[in-house]
Amino acid sequence: MVEKLKSLLGKIIAEKGAVTLFAIMRMDDLTDKWSVIFSAPWVTTESKDADFSYIVTKLNEGLSEEESASIARVGIFAKDHHIPQLFLRYKADQKIVDEKVNGFAVHEAYILASNPE
């Protein structure tokens, strides 16, 4: 699934532009489901609903039905929101295993894009 999401990331960048953070993680009590965290400079308060729909559509197009069903939640955030800021300290292609991040229990995570600038 990680390789499919990396390919999906390339498509998103080609269509919309730079991505600040793209991460998937199993966290807190949802150890068998993935959470997607996404942030980009083009995500704004005004466009957040449309951006959310765009990302969910891309996930559904790029993943199998079973893989899509393994995603419990999708969070779309502006770059300055505290949640992306927590994960921007990790580098792209980094894997996180059993780590606490600001009180969140991250069981497994893959940072697919991390561009703090």
Treating both helix axes as pointing N-terminal to C-terminal, what angle do 48-62 and 2-16 enclose, rounded to 10 degrees?
140
47 pLDDT tier (thresholds 50, 70, 90): confident
3-state class (DSSP) for residue 81: coil
In this predicted model, what pLDDT tens digit does every residue of 61-74 receive, in sequence order?
A: 999 999 999 999 99
Average pLDDT score, the chain: 91
First-to-last C-alpha distance (Å) of the chain: 27
For the chain, how many residues are written?
Answer: 117
In this predicted model, what pLDDT tens digit does every residue of 77-96 receive, in sequence order?
A: 988 888 898 899 999 999 99
pTM of the model: 0.91
pLDDT at 44 over 80: yes
